[in-house]
Amino acid sequence: MEYILIECKSTTSRVIWDAAKDLWLKSKSQWPNIKFSTILGCNLAILRNTKGKKKLGSTTLFKIIILESAHLIWKLRCQRAIKFGGDKEKYHSETEILNKWIHAIN
C-alpha cells in the first residue's frame, strides 16, 4: 500500500500529490514531506500558529487534502488493475485524474 500511495511514479500519484501540494501552498503553510506515516496519522495532526494557538481551519483542510488524495489514488489504482485489467488504453488521462481530485476535495 505504501508503494501505491507514495513511491509509485504513476501519472495518478504524481497528478494528485502535485494538485494537493498546490492547494495546500495557497494556505501559505509549508507542505510536509508526504510519507506513509503522514497519511496514516493525519487525523492526529494539530496545526498551530507561531504563538501556539490551534489553527482549526488549516488543520481541517490538511486532513481533507491528505485523506481524500490518498483515497483517490487507491481508488483509481483499483480501477486500473481490476476494472481495466491493466489495459493502458483505458487508463485515466491527467485531466480526468485532476477533475476527479477536484470533485473529491469539493
Q: What is the pLDDT of residues 58-76, one digit of tens each?
A: 999 999 999 999 999 999 9
- C-alpha 102/C-alpha 96 separation (Å) is 10
Range of the domain at 86: 2-105
62 alpha-carbon distance from chain centroid = 10
Q: Do the Cβ atoms of 48 and 54 come closer than 8 Å?
A: yes
Cell of 85: 485489467
Q: Do the Cβ atoms of 17 and 9 come closer than 8 Å?
A: no
Give the pLDDT band of residue 22 (cuts 50, 70, 90): very high
Q: Count up the domains in the chain and report the number.
A: 1
To the question of pTM greater than 0.85 for the whole model, the response is yes
3-state secondary structure of 55: coil
- C-alpha 50/C-alpha 104 separation (Å) is 31
